[in-house]
Structure 1
Amino acid sequence: MYRKNAGISLLRDPFLNKGLAFSSEERDEYQIRGLLPPAIQSLESQIQLTMKRLNTLTDDLSKYQFLRDIQDFNTRLFFMVLHKYPIELMPLIYTPTVGLACQRYSLIYRRPRGLFITINDAGKVFHVLSNYTIDDVKAIVVTDGERILGLGDLGANGMGIPVGKIALYTSVGGIAPNHTLPIMIDVGTNNQTLLDDSDYIGLKQRRTTGDKYMSLLDEFMNAVVRRWSSLCLIQFEDFGNQNAWHLLERYSQKYCTFNDDIQGTAAVIVAAILAAIRITKTKLQDNRFLFFGAGEAGLGAADLLVNAINENGLQINEAINCIYLIDTKGLITVGRQSMEKNAHKDRYAKRCQHSNNLLDILDIVRPTALIGLAAQPSIFNQLVLSKMASINRRPIIMALSNPTSKAECTAEQAYIHTEGRAVFASGSPFGSVTIGSTTFHPGQCNNVYIFPAIAAATIHCKVNHIPNHVFLVAAKALAEQVTEDELARGSLFPSLISIRETSLRIATRVAEWFYVQKLSNLQPEPLDKYHFLKDKMYNPFNENHS
């Protein structure tokens, strides 16, 4: 007969398990002697062995699975490895590998992580949340899987996105892993391939929409507050464009929430632009920005950029005149918008010639910056890039769609077809590129620079409402950390080697702003917010830090 054993329970708890790092004394104290091989390994040896095993694997998806297995078995070891090797591992646990992981999530699914809430749980959402036994959840990342990266509707397979984002909350933002929770809200999928897939782990039905959908989301938001308080941060991720905007407007004034695709992406794009103009030696308000893509990311970035230009001295209407948008029907102009009535796009409609040809639009707009967010791979072809180079001495080119297969152009194409004059950033990482005697090291326009920092400041300062302006505060703080050496290397972002320090400094600026705006519920106010936040950061190398 099975006898309950605390030791077995300890080894099965990923938050407490240390693997072979348990000392001889601990093995006796916790009743695990004999349950482990006799060898005792130091933390450093465990880290190096993990990397050795990882490097025997030949493809990124296998490496992704291996790292997830480590996280499920020994959470602390997972974050120690990620802490020590961020440049090597971040592309594996998030973009670009997470895109492939989501596409195959049903196939690689092994162990429960986070919560799945379905449309069939309507009326019982609080009870589902109560099945998660941790009582001090402080941050949630939630998706409904409708628009995963540039891959479209992946239904329940989209759970890979919240799982990946939550890992970055801890590794970058320093939020303890036992305080975070990924959630998938499964209302079905319109992806017929998934509906026909016998291995698909989600609901096999078309997406629920309308009042039933909104009622479930309302119930979810209320249940989170009931379960974990109004201070629990809820980050929305990869919802469809229409729902994303509607939910942000519906909840932003009432809950502690933000949408990373709209607001986080906007902040990192504006930060890239602020860094780019240090290279082009131009004023922000003297540029013309052309967004190829007018979904949630493009519109969010455009709106935040308007605010940034406005702070530089132009009136709102003048700032809007600096920005042009292209959607699926071409350049957004007054004539065509009068028939469509899209409030988010209307403000950017221009009184100029309409076209749906990118080359012609470049002639009409004469942009200084071309920003791709439409997941149309290779749309920034040789002709487009050469045209940008003919218009500008230092053209700003941002190919921001994820994953890599959806990028508008590669770094190499951007540099080659602009004769090495492009100021370039991408959504997925690209390696260095040598043109003549110059080697460029392009930076990745990655939301990881923004959302963990804002989350850390929000949680530790006990903020229950996140105004949109905080994302401009974060964008400026990020841009200011890019050194002249990094700009000279062709990067618009600080190195990922120092990502935790970068995040901490952004969080400090955000925390300062929260107190100026009287949004913080933490009293007394910390005098030194940098060290206050630093002391709060989860350190996997400190066994007692949670």
Structure 2
Amino acid sequence: MSGAAAAPRGTSARDDSEDYPGSRGYTTMKTPHQNKGLGFTMAEREALGLKGLLPPATLRLEEQVELTMQELRRKSSALDKYVFLQSLQDVNSTLYYAVLSRHTYECMPFVYTPVVGEACQKFSQIYRHTPQGLYLSMDDRGKLRSILDNWPMDDIRAIVFTDGERILGLGDQGIDGMGIPVGKLALYTACAGVHPSQCLPVVLDVGTNNQAKLDDPFYIGHKRRRLTGPDYDAFIGEFIEAAVDKYGKSVMLQFEDFGNSNAFRLLYHWQEKVCCFNDDIQGTAAVALAGVLGSTALTGTAVEDHRFLFLGAGEAGAGIAELIAYAIHVETGKSMEECRKQIFMLDSKGLVCESRLHELQHHKLKFAHDVEHVGDLLSAVKTLKPTVLIGVSTLPKSFNQAVIEEMSANNKRPVIFALSNPTSKAECTPEEAYTWSNGAAVFASGSPFEPVKFKGKTLVPGQGNNAYIFPGVGLAAVACGATRITDLDMYIAAKALAKTVPQDRFDASCVYPKLEDIREVSLKVATAVAANKYATGQASVMPEPKDLEAHIRSIMYEPRY
């Protein structure tokens, strides 16, 4: 045989697809936002060079959605369903978002909480090779602005970024925390219609202190201890400044799952400089406040008349407490200091109080009141007689029978929010709360639970899911070009959410709307927040639309072929 040796089977003599006539159709099908699978019409197949690359049948998008859901339901494990949906996003993003937006209630647990927790724990093992976001390493310091140019989309409006230190209630997951920004931004699109091309997930790899990750031969991040101190702050600052330089002053930056030692400090440093918020502190706070505001329809007690007790005094607890105090301040005109006196916190060492000032972290100091120290939750409930009990502790079963019964003895309709994620970390289940309160509890959780049959009535546990808040806030920021996000915005978002709860949900003892209605809920939240941005001079899209809700609806992405 003469001539050059043939390329080995399974390889290519040349890798550049430009060299191959007719490759345009193949490339189209390999590009997630262009691919329609069997949804390509015959005319499109002719025009795009797809003939022969597809079977002859065509399937409309709605038919593909139904077929995808059938396959999803056949998957045996929750993690398999997560991987299946992520793989779909890598292949056909329009179909992926159509599935999420048409079947939000069924799919959300496999895109975000609770399954995203397991996905982050195993992210290195299930890592998909199609880029879903940017991985920025501490070794890239000094180069972050140029690395942003490697992302193919230039019109980025919303960035969710994490350093992976405090993933849900699971702790330090390092670079494997990327599952959180990916999942959050999928919900920006599915729940609020923010265009996927305008969303960018980012993980900042500053190392990990999780020894299991450091010992894992397949861990995909840097195997070194976490960067700290001035070098850490400089790295975070370089990223934020690079993002604003690349995408403009109205790019929205969402801090996600940063550790307590950094979360508050970074938020306070940057919130007056760029358009940013911390979802764990502020988004969680807004959705919890909305639940409290909604509970008034069931308890008859306004937010300013409640007495609050928190189990857990981390960033979520402190964020909720501060926004509740802000709501009381707005409703009554009382000083923030006075408003905080209605709010008590319990951490791992007992009640946060003045006698412990010397040992308290900075975010707890505002809630250290002049009360006697008690060491456990039941004693605190007996002593303080709260009307609202909020769990953000990640301590499963900590709302035990004695605690729930004591709350019920003091309140006709005790408000009990077990908000820790994932499901395994919930302070109690709805069935426990309803049973031990004889059906009186106004219950909400952080992760989804099924309705409970109690004495012939169906009680629906509300899910205090941040997805009711952050996609709408993001949509507002995109729609009006917000230059800042403030506590007032979060209060307004919470009030808007509370107003969307229909009577049939209240009749089932539920203080949140149906997740099936999430896009309309997000529209209401976005309209309220965007109106505040224009009113406070923090919008850059001018002039202000005459019909703001109609304008926002018009820019919402709808998956279609």
Q: Normalising TM by the smaller chain, what interval? A: over 0.9
**Alignment check: 8 A CA contact 2:391 2:417 kept:** yes
The partner residue of 2:287 within 268, 283, 302 is 268
**Alignment check: 8 A CA contact 1:137 1:181 kept:** yes
Aligned to 1:378: 397
- Which runs of 5 or more structure 1 residues have no equivalent in the other structure? none
Matched, 1:234 2:253: yes
Aligned-residue offset at 1:58: 1.2
Alpha-carbon distance in structure 1 between the residues aligned to 2:527 and 2:245: 29
* TM-score normalised by length of structure 2: 0.95
Aligned to 2:355: 335
**Alignment check: 8 A CA contact 1:389 1:421 kept:** yes
1:210 maps to amino acid: G
Alpha-carbon distance in structure 2 between the residues aligned to 1:166 and 1:106: 20
Aligned-residue offset at 1:33: 1.2
The partner residue of 1:322 within 342, 347, 351 is 342
Aligned residues: 541
Aligned to 2:162: 143
2:45 maps to amino acid: R
1:56 maps to amino acid: R
Matched, 1:101 2:116: no
Alpha-carbon distance in structure 2 between the residues aligned to 1:341 and 1:149: 23
Secondary structure of 1:290 counterpart: strand
**Alignment check: 8 A CA contact 2:192 2:518 kept:** no
Aligned to 1:156: 175
The partner residue of 1:50 within 59, 65, 68 is 68
1:498 maps to amino acid: D
Alpha-carbon distance in structure 1 between the residues aligned to 2:316 and 2:539: 28
Aligned to 1:17: 35
1:283-334 deviations in whole A, cap 9, x for unaligned?
A: 2222110011111111111111011111221332331111001112111110
Aligned to 2:8: none
Aligned to 2:5: none
**Alignment check: 8 A CA contact 1:400 1:425 kept:** yes
The partner residue of 2:53 within 35, 57, 70 is 35
Aligned to 2:507: 488
Aligned to 2:416: 397
Alpha-carbon distance in structure 2 between the residues aligned to 1:500 and 1:199: 39
Aligned to 1:428: 447
Aligned to 1:366: 385
Aligned to 2:109: 91
Secondary structure of 1:204 counterpart: coil
1:451-498 deviations in whole A, cap 9, x for unaligned?
A: 111111111101111122100000000011112221111211111111
Percent identical among aligned pairs is: 46
Aligned to 1:8: 26
Aligned-residue offset at 1:24: 1.2
**Alignment check: 8 A CA contact 2:24 2:49 kept:** yes
Aligned to 1:123: 142
Aligned to 2:549: 530
1:500-524 deviations in whole A, cap 9, x for unaligned?
A: 0010011111111111111111111
The partner residue of 2:329 within 310, 316, 336 is 310
1:261 maps to amino acid: D
1:82 maps to amino acid: L
**Alignment check: 8 A CA contact 1:353 1:364 kept:** no
Alpha-carbon distance in structure 1 between the residues aligned to 2:248 and 2:365: 38
Aligned-residue offset at 1:342: 3.5
2:165 maps to amino acid: E
Aligned to 1:463: 482
* TM-score normalised by length of structure 1: 0.97
Aligned to 1:449: 468
**Alignment check: 8 A CA contact 2:293 2:302 kept:** no
Alpha-carbon distance in structure 1 between the residues aligned to 2:453 and 2:58: 47
Matched, 1:356 2:375: yes
Alpha-carbon distance in structure 1 between the residues aligned to 2:430 and 2:389: 14
**Alignment check: 8 A CA contact 1:290 1:325 kept:** yes
Alignment of 1:207-286 (within 5 A): 207-286=226-305
Aligned to 1:82: 100
The partner residue of 2:224 within 201, 205, 208 is 205
Secondary structure of 1:55 counterpart: helix
Alpha-carbon distance in structure 1 between the residues aligned to 2:372 and 2:175: 43
Aligned-residue offset at 1:341: 5.3
The partner residue of 2:525 within 497, 506, 509 is 506
1:241-272 deviations in whole A, cap 9, x for unaligned?
A: 12110110111111111110011111000000
Secondary structure of 1:89 counterpart: helix
Please identify runs of 4+ aligned residues in structure 1 that moved more than 6 A: none
Please, what is the CA RMSD of the aligned residues?
1.1
Alpha-carbon distance in structure 2 between the residues aligned to 1:238 and 1:282: 33
Aligned-residue offset at 1:143: 0.3
Aligned-residue offset at 1:34: 1.3
Secondary structure of 2:390 counterpart: strand
1:152-194 deviations in whole A, cap 9, x for unaligned?
A: 0011111000000010010111111111010000101100011
